[in-house]
A and B are shown apart, each in its own frame.
Chain A
Amino acid sequence: MAALKDIKRKITAVHKTKQITRAMNMVAASKFKAAQMRMENFRPYAVKFMEVLNSLALRVDAINHPLLAVREPKRIRVICMTSDRGLCGGFNNNLIKAAERFVREKLRDGQEVSVIPIGRKGRDFFRKKTKVLNARADVFGKFDMSLAVRISEDIIPPFISEEYDELYLLYNEFVNVAVQRPSVVRLFPLPSIGRAEEIEPGKRLDYIYEPSEGIILEKLLPMYMHVLIYRALLETFAGENGARMAAMDNATRNCEDLIQSLTLKYNQMRQSAITAELMDIVGGTEALAKG
């Protein structure tokens, strides 16, 4: 009978786990929804911003901005953007693995690499392994554009003062709820802008520029960094919660399977115990009747 009781206890335990995973799934779902809405709200800003940036870059010929300076890449920095919390499947692991691979390749090329981890998971991993700069953890609880601005303030001045030569951003690109793809974007020197399709002649307006094209462009470049980083933050946040939804959904389903098979086993054992007892009684009465 002890075995029967053990199984009963196990079923209760798994049931409780299931309640937790299901609750986590629902929390992740509501966070995901909010994240998705923020991504949608950000789109008009990003689209408009790129439109103006591109049209400006087309007009300004020789852009001589320190943020566009191309130097021989000797010292490299890598922003590795992970989530703060775990229990979201392979979300962070995949990214960290990709980041490690990336760093190893750069090291093999004889370049000096430092990592800038954003998000607690990445920070905890990298600070044990390598040189870490400007780490930021516990940022995804509540964040807005000002976080992207603060990150930019960490990275822009040392690039201008030539403390490093190239900057890469590694983050989980948000493909859809179920799919996040680790991807690499070069931030410094800024990817060439203005290669976009030439604006149709009819639509092209001759603007008055205040102050001048060049100065506006210079002002927009740091903002471009903000846009790129903010987008990565939003995608990481949405991806994390999407991944957690999927992981918790799986866990809930596994709990259900487990409960089912345990219940089956429980019933079988109970049945065989009853059968054994019955046999005893029947055997007993028969013996009595014969006697």
Chain B
Amino acid sequence: MADELKLEIVTPEQMTFRGVVEEVTIPGTEGQFGVLKGHAALLSSVDIGELSFTQDHKKTYYAVNTGYAEVTASKVTVLVETAERFDLIDRERAKRAREQAEEKLAKLSREDVEFVKARLALLRAITRLNVAGRD
């Protein structure tokens, strides 16, 4: 049995987080799931959403973009295209992104290729705003 759980959040820009944590909650494609040390080996795709973990009894939140998570008994590696910590998110920018996406969505028909893109953009903006609201 592993005695600790390491977490790595890797993005193309940098190793965003690396450390020992008590618990991680990951926004998997099939729904959120929590990981504690000693978890069975798991590979899951990750969707736009909120990732959180507890370190020294304190919770930290990240807004993440698509990617995947690899879980072993002692280590979780999260590979995502972006990851932003809740206190570093630019709310104004997220708000603008949400407004833009909403405007676009209002104009497009459901069949449009752009529709999917705009909906994803909206989802990302809303997630970032939600995560930024955490304290």
Contacts and interface: CB of A to CB of B under 8 A. Distances in A.
B25 interface: no
B67 A207 contact: no
Interface stretch (B42-50, B84-92, B102-110, B126-134): B42-50
Contacts of A226: 81
B11 interface: yes
B62 interface: no
A41 B15 contact: yes
Contact of A223 (B11, B29, B81, B113): B81
Q: Tell me if A's interface is mostly helix, strand, loop or mixed.
A: helix
Contact of A216 (B40, B41, B68): B68
B117 interface: yes
B100 interface: no
A48 B77 contact: yes
Contact of B45 (A45, A157, A216, A230): A216
Nearest to B117: A153
A153 to B, nearest CB: 7
A52 B44 CA distance: 11
A179 B10 CA distance: 29
A220 interface: yes
B49 to A, nearest CB: 14
A149 interface: yes
Given A145-B13, A205-B72, A210-B29, A45 B79 contact: yes
B10 A48 contact: yes
Nearest to A220: B68
Nearest to B72: A205
Contacts of A149: 81
A146 B81 CA distance: 8
A216 B113 CA distance: 22
A215 interface: yes
B70 interface: yes
B56 interface: no
Given A45-B11, A208-B43, A211-B29, 20 more contacts: A38-B13, A41-B13, A41-B15, A45-B12, A45-B79, A48-B10, A52-B43, A145-B81, A153-B117, A206-B41, A207-B42, A207-B43, A207-B70, A209-B43, A209-B44, A210-B29, A211-B30, A211-B44, A220-B68, A223-B81
Interface of B: 10-15, 28-30, 33, 40-45, 66-68, 70, 72, 77, 79, 81-82, 113, 117
18 contacts: A42-B13, A44-B10, A48-B79, A52-B68, A52-B70, A52-B79, A145-B13, A149-B81, A209-B42, A209-B44, A210-B30, A211-B29, A216-B43, A216-B45, A219-B68, A220-B45, A226-B81, A230-B12
